Structure formats: C-alpha cells, structure tokens
Amino acid sequence: MKDKIKESYRQLIVDTGIEMLDKGITVGTWGNISARDPETDLVYISPSGMDYLSIKAKHVVVMDLNLNVIDGETEPSIEKHMHIAVFNTRKDVNAVVHTHPVYSSAFGTVEQPLPGISEDFIQIVGAEVQVARPYALPGTAELGETAVAGLGDNNAVLLPGHGALLVGTDMKMALKVSLVLEKNAQIYLYAKMLGGDIRAFKQNEIDFMQDFARNSYGKKNKGA
Ligand SMILES: [Zn+2]
C-alpha cells in the first residue's frame, strides 16, 4: 500500500490548511481536512491538534477506508470517523473539510435547517442544508453516522453546537462550498433583520440551476 502514496496529496492538505487560515474559514487548530485519491482510495488527512502553519507534508496521515493508518508519524485528526464515513458513503466526494464557522453555526445551534436563498448556494451546496441529529460528541463514530445521514446528497451539513462539514468532488470545490455556505447564512440573518419576506426558490428554479451547475457551467472554458 505504501508504494501507492502520493506526495502531491500530502502537499494538498498542507496548502489547504494555510488557505483556510488565510480565508478566515477556521481559527487556531480547529477544523480538519481530508482528500481521497480516487485511483487508490487512500485518504490523506490532517494531523490531530497541530497548528496549520506548522503542518508539513510528513505530518499528513494516510489512511484506508477501514480507518487503518497506512503511513504517518502523527495521530490523524480526531474527526477521522466523520471524514472516512463520508468517503464510504459518497463515491462522488474526494475532499472533505470540517470547519467551525460563525454564521452557519448559528443555524446548527438552534437546530434549524439553512435554506438556499442565493443562486450560488443552490448550485453547489444544495436546496436546503440540514442539521445532523441527534447531537453526537466530537471525535465519535456516532458523529460520523449523524453527519452522513444529515448530509444526504447535499454538499454541506450543520453539526449542532459544533460547526459544519463541507464536501466536494475536489478540494477546490469543498473550499468553495465552505465559503458559499457561510455567505448564505450571513445573508439569511441580515435579510431577517430587514424584516421582509425571504423569497424561497421554486422547485423548477432549483432544478434549472442545479442542472446548469452540473452540465453547463464552465464546461466551454475547460482546457481553454
Ligand atoms: Zn470540530
């Protein structure tokens, strides 16, 4: 198995951690990141409790889909159950990001689903993001189960009293989902303050936007 390990994936985890700090997606050592190499099904995950700025490629832990550590000189993130549970359930997902965002977490705290009120959210996150229920303690296999159930076919799920879990076909997309989720939560809260009715998208509009995102968006520019 060790001969299948790719340094580029280890570096991806290092670079993504720094990008998360730069974009203000997470603070301190909180949050964790993983990527699956679809060719080998090996998972590259951030180490437990290390500052993102001190993580080097050698600290990234390589695991298989049965939670076995294949290589790594540090402990994997305590949320390994949650990351691996997603990869075992969603074959379309190759990157998982877990964050502790402010605005989206407000919805998880009151256990209220976050409806998609912006087009970008509908396109890459889902029509309505759910809260993982019931509450499960961090680092437990139970949290993995509730997170996967709450995620469904969406690309984000809210973890009550904890944070959010974002997924994507690749790391670029998972990070984009993270930013769009937080932006949508912020807009929703400001819109509520304005006091008017928040316009809900109709099902045919949701279908149109999701179909566009899947089949047309950016396709013409690929390879150009
Ligand atoms: Zn957490």
Domains along the chain with CATH numbers: 2-218 (3.40.225.10)
pLDDT at 94: 98
Q: How many residues comprise the chain?
A: 224
For 57-140, where are the alpha helices, taking DSSP H only? 80-89, 102-109, 119-124
- The answer to whether residues 177 and 125 touch, using CB atoms and an 8 Å cutoff, is yes
Hey, what amino acid is at 166? L
The yes-or-no answer on residue 79 being catalytic is yes
Instruction: For residue 33, report the distance from its CA to the centre of ligand 1, in Å.
Output: 11
Instruction: For residue 188, report the distance from its CA to the centre of ligand 1, in Å.
Output: 23
Residue 165: how many other CB atoms lie within 10 Å: 30
For residue 172, name the pLDDT band (cuts at 50, 70, 90). Answer: very high
Residue 53: how many other CB atoms lie within 10 Å: 9
**What is the value of pTM for the model shown?**
0.93
Residue 72: how many other CB atoms lie within 10 Å: 18
Which of 159, 167, 179 shows the shortest CA–CA distance to 107?
A: 159
Instruction: For residue 44, report the distance from its CA to the centre of ligand 1, in Å.
Output: 18
> Does the pLDDT of residue 224 top 60, yes or no?
no
Structure tokens that stand for 69 in this block: 């550590």
pLDDT at 43: 98
Residue 97, φ and ψ in degrees, nearest 5? -125, 130
The catalytic position among 79, 111, 128, 205 is 79
3-class SS of residue 50 = coil
